Structure 1
Amino acid sequence: MFFRWDWLRPVLTAPIVPTLGPVHPHTLTVDLFEDTLRAAVTDRSFLHYDKDRRWSSEKDETVLSGDVVHQPDHTLIPTLNRRGRGTVKVFAYGHRDSIVDEAAELAVKLAALHDAGKAQVVRPLGPETDSPRGTRIQMKDFTARPCPNPGGPVRPVTDWPTPVQETFAPFATAMATDGLAFLHTQMQAGQCGPVLATAVEDRILGAIGPMEVRPDAIGCLQLMPQYFAVLPEARGQGLGRALWRSAMHWGQSHGAAYQLLQTEVGGPSDRLCQAEGLTSLGFSHTTQA
């Protein structure tokens, strides 16, 4: 065993695992962290419960296991992402603020060593954090209460008439920064689950998807993260809420026990999730080293 759980567990202020991202607290064990190191040894292989398996046959990000710093009061876990010019991230687990400077120094050193274009520090923070920045980690618990179908102009893209379906392409292009253009390519290739869309006057104005349920590290079914966007000019009409509730109804109807989401603090999706009563599990704050 590489990690001492009595050292690591007290500094896990938020359930974030390198290369995997947010996980349900019930899967947060020393084995999960050990698995990420074992996967790194085989180089670019996926763990069987890795959500990114949906998009690629090869893992982009792996742990630099030989450079992990593991001490009684803090743990630094560096990763290397090979996309583009490359990015080194150092996940800084610990309570003292000076850990960020130590993590930044390690990130810069490893970025130079691996000829990576970026060096970053990822700091997990607890849900009690005052004035948080970055990304909020939220959880929807499908076992807590029913998620009724909200009705309204929401249905799978493929269930809309052909002229409406054809408006998805310009919608996806307009919302490319939210990942919808990428999602559209996956849809065209038939490589993802259904995508829900809302349309008004025969034009798609918002979408959420793909809708997929998969088991987590201990076999519990989770609704996988989706791309979610509504055109700016169509916001404020309740379309985003209808899409969101339709997606939650779909997830519960297909056996999911929960969903984890990452939302930009203060953004539209963040405000929606807060209003919908999701549980905040903490925050992830990324800075350039």
Structure 2
Amino acid sequence: MFFRWDWLRARLTAPIVPTLGPVHPDALSIDLFEDVLRAADTGGFLPYDKDRRWGGEKDEQVLREDVVHQPQYTLVPTLNLRGRGTVKVFAYGAPDSVVAEAAELAAKLAAVHDVAGARVVRPLGPGTDAPRGTRIQLKDFTVGLCPAPGGPVRPVTDWPTDVRKTFAPFAEAMAADGLAFLHTRMQTGRCGPVLAAVAEGRIVGAIGPMEVHPDAIARPQLMPQYFAVLPESRGHGTGRLLWRAAMHWGQRHGAAYQLLQTEVGGPSDKLCQSEGLVSLGFRHTTHV
């Protein structure tokens, strides 16, 4: 094995694994870190990688020869060649100096691989003061019922034809939130159902795709979704209605949990906190 768990475990302030993103705390193990190193040799997806469902090739791989693993900190660099390319260095360690060392490594590797981006990703614990970046939140479906919320939400395919036709302009308007990409996947029939909220005969919000897959320890996980509401339709509870409908769908289809990533202080973050989700920590990214 490359990693020593007694060195790494104490530095994992939030359950974030390079190339995989957030994982359930129960699934966090040295095997996950070893797996991402092995995947770097093949360039393929791990069986439980959340991005595997989209097909194609894995964009991000660990630069295993450049990993720094010491008792006080661990630096794991990754390379993504999408667009102009990005090097990320995942910095696990308590000392503030770890960020400076990670930034130096990221800049160096970006130059070596001739890519435009260099970033440091710092996992931070749930008790972090004045957090920034992305909050990792856990919805546990085993601790209570998620009732159907009612209201004008149903799968896109269950709406009448004239309503379904409004999904295309909705998706285009919310392209920045990934809905245009999702619409493309829907048209090829290569994703699970998408739930849509309707007002005045047109789609004004959507969440999906709804899919459940096993994680690294074979627990059923509700996969992350794209989630958006038209700006002019916000403030009326549409987002909460969609989110509760998605949670009801996940529990009804056997999911044990879902992990959500929300921008600290943003609408989705406030929604999840008000719904009682458990904060597992934060992911703070610094551009070098």
Which TM-score band (shorter chain)? over 0.9
Match of residue 205 from structure 2: 206
Residue 117 (structure 1) aligned with residue 122 (structure 2): no
Aligned partner of residue 155 in structure 1, secondary structure: strand
Alpha-carbon deviation of 1:135?
A: 0.2
1: CA distance between counterparts of 2:154 and 2:181? 20
Match of residue 96 from structure 1: 95
Residue 252 (structure 1) aligned with residue 251 (structure 2): yes
Alpha-carbon deviation of 1:191?
A: 1.0
Residue 194 (structure 1) aligned with residue 193 (structure 2): yes
Match of residue 157 from structure 2: 158
Aligned partner of residue 255 in structure 2, secondary structure: coil
Alpha-carbon deviation of 1:100?
A: 0.6
Alpha-carbon deviation of 1:57?
A: 2.2
Match of residue 242 from structure 1: 241
Match of residue 262 from structure 1: 261
Match of residue 278 from structure 1: 277
The two structures have a TM-score, normalised by structure 1, of 0.99
Match of residue 8 from structure 1: 8
| Matched positions, count | 288
1: CA distance between counterparts of 2:264 and 2:176? 17
Aligned partner of residue 185 in structure 1, secondary structure: helix
Match of residue 80 from structure 2: 81
Residue 26 (structure 1) aligned with residue 22 (structure 2): no
Aligned partner of residue 46 in structure 1, secondary structure: coil
Alpha-carbon deviation of 1:98?
A: 1.0
What do you get for the CA RMSD once the two structures are aligned?
0.5
2: CA distance between counterparts of 1:155 and 1:253? 14
Alpha-carbon deviation of 1:56?
A: 2.5
Task: Give the residue type in structure 1 aligned to 2:201.
Answer: D
Task: Give the residue type in structure 2 aligned to 1:221.
Answer: P
Task: Give the residue type in structure 2 aligned to 1:176.
Answer: A
2: CA distance between counterparts of 1:53 and 1:224? 11
The two structures have a TM-score, normalised by structure 2, of 0.99
Task: Give the residue type in structure 1 aligned to 2:41.
Answer: V
2: CA distance between counterparts of 1:266 and 1:206? 21
Q: What does the per-residue CA deviation read over 1:10-64, in whole Å, with 9 as the maximum and x for residues that have no partner? A: 000000000000000001000010000001012x211000000111321110000
- Percent of pairs with identical residues: 77
1: CA distance between counterparts of 2:239 and 2:168? 19
Match of residue 40 from structure 1: 40
Residue 141 (structure 1) aligned with residue 136 (structure 2): no
1: CA distance between counterparts of 2:229 and 2:163? 16
